[in-house]
Amino acid sequence: MQNVPEEWREGREVRGGGGEDGRMGEILVKRKVDSEMKGDGEKNGGSGGEVAEKESLMMELTRRVQKIIKESSWWERRGVDCSILAAAFLCLPPAFLLLGSSQLLSFSAGMLLMGVAHAAITVKGTHLASHGALSESQAWGKFWAVFFIEICGSFSAQAGVHGHIKMHHAHTNVIGLGDSSVWKVPFLPRTIYLFIAPLAVPIITPLVALAHLKGHSLALVVRTVLMVTLGLYSQYWLLIHVSGFLSPLSALLCMLVCRAMFSVPYIHVNIFQHIGLHMFSPNNRPKRIYQMTHGVLNLPRNPFLDWIFGHSLINCHVEHHLFPFLSDNMCLKVKPVVSRYLTEKQLPYQEDSYLNRLRFFFHKYQELMVFAPPITELVGVQ
């Protein structure tokens, strides 16, 4: 656990009441830039000298980012990412048709196309939908969250949004709250954990979703079960009636392969960007800008994963945690401003390669994953 220097610590006397954690959660749920600025402004009340300057760092950075947002078109703010998701859906009809081919090359192309489309929809789509980054309308935001997370992703929208927005983003790398990855199976050997067990994610995901429905209203439970069932059965029905699969078992196997195609890098990305970095106690946590810059890491540009998973999960993860309401394309656009600002202020801007992080986890698996503190809350959908 990281010891927090005095100048890093959160102010506890915040005007307006509600506590720092509650206010931060409210900021993240509202996803508004002005809320970010107001939040950091409140911290400055009653402070002076060097501490006041340090407390205004997030507000200053927010102003710079807000300026870029105001100068950006709708296409830059949302259109690019909506188009990528639309392209993923347009890949599905030819994928189903190719899967009906008796030629191995065409069938393999159909599997690959289906796997790529499914990964883009269920990782990039669910992530953007959980943050409300696909629409400025709250009503449409809720609709897209249910559509992408429940129908496409086979998970609970309520649990996903709560775990990812209210826990992981509000309490990034805080032990017991938003401390690391949900994918912790300490009894597994490192090779199985890193390269084989993730293939079971498509099976585990709906089961975990059902487990998180306990204690919720009957209406929410019924909706989630119906939406998850609709998504799974739709793909199965299309494989039988469009692709021409002759047996239920072969259709289910095809579904598993397509859905698990990118589950290994998905799990890797999930753990690489937080675990092994600075961790903080719930009662001794830093201010937001220090928390995010010390507890979040960017991976380098990867054309394939950038398009499938999204910039905010790959090469702009620091930017995403500082400004979680931005779309993938906007995270990429503000990246030079954020990296330059953090460098100017002598704050860390952590980056490392995929292979370096893989070697790091492989050699320090016991320390990072087996003996790590237990997770007490769902961290959420990446």
For CA atoms 167, 168, 174, 180, the dihedral sign is positive
For residues 304 and 286, is the Cβ–Cβ distance under 8 A? no
CA distances for 336 relative to 78, 316, 319, angstroms: 19, 10, 10
| Per-residue pLDDT, 228 | 97
What residue ranges do the domains of the chain occupy? Answer: 71-370
Which pLDDT value is given to residue 185?
72
**Cα separation of 248 and 228, whole Å?**
18
C-alpha–C-alpha distance, residues 135 and 370, integer Å: 40
The candidate with the shortest Cα–Cα distance to 10, out of 65, 58, 60, is 58
In DSSP notation, 203-229 reads HHHHHHHHHTTTTS-HHHHHHHHHHHH
Tens digit of pLDDT per residue, the chain (382 long)? 555 554 454 443 333 333 333 333 333 333 343 443 344 444 434 444 454 454 489 999 999 999 999 999 999 999 999 999 999 999 999 999 999 999 999 999 999 999 999 999 999 999 999 999 999 999 999 999 999 999 999 999 999 998 888 888 988 888 777 655 556 677 789 999 999 999 999 999 999 999 989 889 999 999 999 999 999 999 999 999 999 999 999 999 999 999 999 999 999 998 899 888 888 888 878 888 999 999 999 999 988 899 999 999 999 999 999 999 999 999 999 999 999 999 999 999 999 999 999 999 999 988 887 776 554 333 333 3
Q: Which of 272, 260, 249, 265 is nearest to 201 (CA)?
A: 260
Rounded to 5 degrees, what angle do the CA atoms 19, 313, 329 make?
A: 100
Q: Is 117 exposed, middle or buried (0-12, 13-18, 19+ CB in 10 A)?
A: buried
E-strand stretches of the chain: none
| pLDDT the model gives residue 108 | 97
